[in-house]
Structure 1
Amino acid sequence: MLRRHLTGRPALWAAVVLALGAIFSSLAVSPASAADPVGSITGFAGKCVDVAGANSANGTPVVLYDCNGTDAQRWTVAGDGTLRALGKCLDVVDRGTANGSKMQLWDCAGGSNQKWVVTAAHDIVNPAANKCLDVTDNNPANGTRLQLWECAGTANQKWSAPTGSGSGGGSGSGFVVSEAQFNQMFPNRNSFYTYNGLVAALSAYPGFARTGSDTVKKQEAAAFLANVNHETGGLKYVVELNTANYSHYCDWGQSFGCPAGQSAYYGRGPIQLSWNYNYKAAGDALGIDLLHNPWLVQNDAAVAWKTGLWFWNTQQGAGWMTPHAAMVNGAGFGQTIRSVNGTVECDGKNPAQVQSRVGSYQWFTQILGVSPGGNLYC
């Protein structure tokens, strides 16, 4: 697991996340959950997204058709980013990304050509192509094949998809990310990282994702979660994996020493809090004795999320400003990368890791239905 000195000291394992990305991209496809929203996808000319002839065979065209309530039009918006009907997935033929690439039904395989984001603006976007689900030639006739096309905001690209309770944002929590959206961002996360834990942690920093316009609030939430996604391999890991490093994170030069033990201050939580002095600083800020009880960060989801928010809102790290300030003052997502791990990644040192963070941020802003803004790179 990626681990970094939050005070800007040199980081270790600079390439680990690249390996994690490859691992996660090969994971088996998750089954749809009973909690995933199910229903028709309506759009152009008041018609529905339909599997031609209700045929579940691989390669069956996906078309526009009069809404009729049959299983051929019963779509599940799955938490892994797929759209499913008749037990299979909405799929771009031959993994196409060009304008005009056609839609079909195919066995769910986890490929990028089966991943979709249903945005708040009623677009259905394939992030791999950065294009929208589109009715070919604006033709409202039954049987018109659906395709990919550059997103233009036109009527033949607007859809109303089924949503779960609270999927419009916040589920009453006051947070700009709903639980359904959070699940879409992290379909394979460790059960420790609960949405409720994150919401409970927000009280520690009330300015987070609540400052500025609605767009800025959503951009900040997406930026935080994108960095968290990168740091933890999609919220898969709660603690640092390499136990051989654990004894390194005690700085006996600090007056308070390491009262929990030489090997107690390894990386934990969504930003991988490490070193005794960082546990002391975070605990003091949060009113929690993390110096003597660092295990709270791996045992209490709200505490774990609070440590991530502590860094985000109060620490400059390797950068020139806090990540919170970078987002609310318009400096851009790139400056959050610099704060989080700039000594290892920025200024051309590791462009692949920077791109990984940027890609996650772009994906998450699409889920939230906002532009990612400028200055994405560091």
Structure 2
Amino acid sequence: MLLAADATDSPITGFTGKCIDVADANTANGTAVQLYDCNGTGAQRWSSPGDGTLRAFGKCLDIQAAGTTDGTSVWLWDCHGEANQQWVITEAHDIVNPATDRCLDVRGYDNANRTPLQIWPCTGAANQKWFNSKAENPPANDGGIDGRGGDDGGDAPAGFVVSEDQFNAMFPARNPFYTYGGLAAALGAYPGFATSGDDTTKKREAAAFLANAGHETGGLTHVTEQNTANHPHYCDPGQPYGCPAGQSTYYGRGPIQLSWNFNYKAAGDALGIDLLNNPGLVESDASVAWKTALWYWNTQSGPGTMTPHAAMTNNSGFGQTIRSINGALECDGKNPAQVQNRMANYLRFVQVLGTTPGDNLVC
């Protein structure tokens, strides 16, 4: 547990080792609760007296104005025991408000001092993980913005065939947004990914997924589509729900560069995240970004005849994953250089994972 009942004066650390902090050590009602460098002051000492509250300066961590919407800030307030001051601390290191079914979250995945804390749907991402720094040893930069993250401190999640060290070897110059911790947190959305078949099949699927992601993003260096002139082109107004976030907001994002309003709608519906109205989550939350890539990989066949997941688990080969992702533009001789680049990634990654590539590598 993060804080045992009756625990006192315990700093709570999380994102990149910074602490939950009462702004300027102010004890007035409505004082912001934020992320800040750990400094050992009373503004960072929290207790859990056993009544479901978290307290500093004798006051409670409180959801502003009893709000229930995503992004509602938290602040300090006189304790009154109502639902907006109740918190459940899970073994997975989430701090959850049961009334809203949302987690204590660092706004915008930002690690700057004074970044506000808020409530947000629980994603499993590193900006929602918290540790008692007196009793526990949180992993350094847990899933954080410097790209070293991972709740496992470097070992792969149970059943996953790619370790953090192997991931780092595959993408040595990646954008810090693409954390191993974000990928690890996303795996639970599709538990069949890289866990089906024998060890060779599992490693080939993981290598194939990461090879395509690497190609789409320039080695995980780009979070968003670089050609901004294309950004207005991904709104299909013929869809009954339209483009509520704006004409130019459904451009490519994330490891597989999710694009088009209908794909944001379908991915969001599948994942239980409102991406149609909040497409920017795919470029602000690493776990959400990886989840959208896994959604496509496991459920969509695109211009192909099977999902990439099926292609790698039924031995159709890496070439069929290319066809399912961008076959209409690359396969059957249309752009062999792009196909070769994807294949080069795959051949390198299977070597990193210590396995063989199999047959049917091009499309």
TM range (shorter): 0.5 to 0.7
- Deviation per residue, 1:252-278 (Å, 9 max, x gap): 110000111111111100000011111
Corresponding residue number in structure 2 for 1:377: 362
Task: Select the residue among 200, 203, 208 that pairs with 1:215.
Answer: 200
Query: What does residue 243 of structure 1 align with?
Result: 228
Residue 241 of structure 1 deviates from its aligned partner by: 1.3
Distance 2:157 2:187 in 1: 13
Query: Corresponding residue for 1:274?
Result: 259
- The 8 Å contact of residues 173 and 199 in structure 1, kept in 2 or not, is answered as no
Q: Where do residues 1-378 of structure 1 align in structure 2 (5 Å cutoff)?
A: 170-378=155-363
Q: CA deviation at 1:171?
A: 3.2
Query: Deviation at 1:308?
Result: 0.3
CA distance in 2, matches of 1:291, 1:180: 35
Q: Which runs of 5 or more structure 2 residues have no equivalent in the other structure?
A: 1-149
SS of residue in 1 equivalent to 2:340: helix
1:127 maps to what in 2?
A: none
Residue equivalent to 1:3:
none
Given the two structures, how large is their TM-score scaled by the length of structure 1? 0.55
**Aligned residues of 2:197 and 2:313 also touching (Cα < 8 A):** yes
Q: What is the CA distance between 1:247 and its match in structure 2?
A: 1.2
Q: What is the TM-score when the length of structure 2 is the normalising length?
A: 0.57
Query: Which stretch of structure 1 is more off in the superposition, 235-244 or 361-370?
Result: 235-244
- Name the CA shift for 1:189/1:320 in 2 (closer, same or farther; >3 Å): same
Distance 1:248 1:350 in 2: 22
Q: Deviations over 1:155-207 (max 9, x none)?
A: xxxxxxxxxx999x943443100000000000000000000000100000000
- In the alignment, the residues of structure 2 paired with residue 189 and residue 274 of structure 1 have an alpha-carbon distance, to the nearest angstrom, of 21
Cα distance between partner residues in 1 of 2:267 and 2:215? 21
Measured in 2, the distance between the counterparts of 1:358 and 1:200 equals 27
Q: Verify the 8 A CA contact 1:228 1:271 in the aligned structure 2.
A: yes
Deviations 1:204-258 (A, max 9, x none): 0000000000110000000000000100000000001122221111111100001
Corresponding residue SS for 1:306: helix
Instruction: Tell me if structure 2 keeps the 8 A contact 1:166–1:179.
Output: no
Distance 2:331 2:230 in 1: 24
Report deviation, 1:351.
1.0
Q: Secondary structure at the match of 1:316?
A: coil
CA distance in 2, matches of 1:171, 1:320: 32
Give the match's secondary structure for 1:193: coil
Q: Distance in 1 between matches of 2:243 and 2:270?
A: 18
- What letter is aligned with 1:214? D
What does the per-residue CA deviation read over 1:267-316, in whole Å, with 9 as the maximum and x for residues that have no partner? 10000001111100000010100000000000000000000000000000
Query: Structure 1: which 5+ runs fail to align?
Result: 1-164
Contact 2:157/2:184, CA 8 A, preserved across alignment: no
1:58 corresponding residue in structure 2: none
Q: AA paired with 2:311?
A: A
C-alpha separation in 1, matches of 2:191 and 2:274: 21
Q: CA RMSD in A?
A: 1.7
C-alpha distance in structure 1 between counterparts of 2:155 and 2:336, whole Å: 34
Number of matched residues?
A: 213
Q: Match of 1:364, as an amino acid? A: F
Residues 216 and 256 in structure 2, CA contact (< 8 A), matched pair in contact too: yes
Partner of residue 81, structure 1: none
After superposition, the Cα gap between the structure-2 partners of 1:257 and 1:213, relative to the gap in structure 1 and judged at 3 Å, is: same
Asked whether the 8 Å contact 2:151–2:181 carries over to 1, the reply is no
Letter in 2 for 1:302: S
Q: Residues 170, 372 of structure 1: CA spacing in aligned structure 2 closer, same or farther, 3 A cutoff? A: farther
The one-letter code of the counterpart of 1:311 is Y
% of aligned pairs identical? 72
User: In structure 1, what is the Cα distance between the partners aligned to 2:201 and 2:252?
Assistant: 30
Aligned equivalents of 1:197, 1:166: Cα separation in 2: 9
Runs of 4+ in 1 over 6 A off after TM superposition: none
